[in-house]
Amino acid sequence: MHLVGNNIIVRNFQEGDFDSFYRLVKNKRNHELSGMEYTEDINDAKQIFDRYLKLETSYCIALKENSLMVGIIELNERGMTSGLELTRELGFIIEEKYRHQHIASEAVELMIKYSFEELKLTELWAAAEKHNIAPQKLLVKHDFKYIYEVNQNFSILDNTDNLIEYYLLKP
């Protein structure tokens, strides 16, 4: 994949992206905000990165000026049962020092266009942690509509609520 915007490129991962990737996965706040993998162990991070290099649904968000990776954007399959083949779940994370620079917005815009024009999808879903307001605002800005909330706390030992809000975009 190679989508070019005004300031960013959405592209496949490359070996040279590892340092930027490692900064993302060793930041615990990224895990808390998006559910992204978390590890401070560089060897674990390399194993995770090797998986991302092979994934056909995860892409690097890079600055156009120097191709530096600053985030990840994904189009995950929601299932291949009847009716879901042409739907995807959109997810994204931007490295902390690059947030609030409209990078995520531009990446989401490129993926929406790609999803409906190239892949011919019928709908995109996105989810955001209830306490993570920034991506919720970004989704609404791009015409996603709030649909419902669900508690995804799977741990019997953890009493905290893990509320996820789901948003839907249809062309």
For the stretch 70-84, pLDDT in tens is 999 999 887 666 777
Count of domains observed in the chain: 1
Give domain status of residue 143, yes or no: no
| 77 part of a folded domain | yes
Count CA atoms within 13 Å of residue 134 on its CB side.
Answer: 14
Domain membership of residue 36 (yes or no) is yes
CATH at 88: 3.40.630.30
Q: Are 34 and 42 in contact (CB under 8 A)?
A: no
Whether 139 maps to a domain, the answer reads: no
**Phi/psi zone of residue 63: left (φ > 0), alpha (ψ -120 to 50 degrees), beta?**
beta
> pTM score, two decimals?
0.86
pLDDT bucket at 32, cuts 50 / 70 / 90: confident
* 61 burial via Cβ count (<10 Å: 0-12, 13-18, 19+): buried
- Give tens-digit pLDDT for 111-124: 999 999 999 998 99
The candidate with the shortest Cα–Cα distance to 114, out of 58, 60, 154, 75, is 75
Domain that holds residue 51: 2-122
For 123-140, the pLDDT digits (tens) are 998 888 888 888 889 999
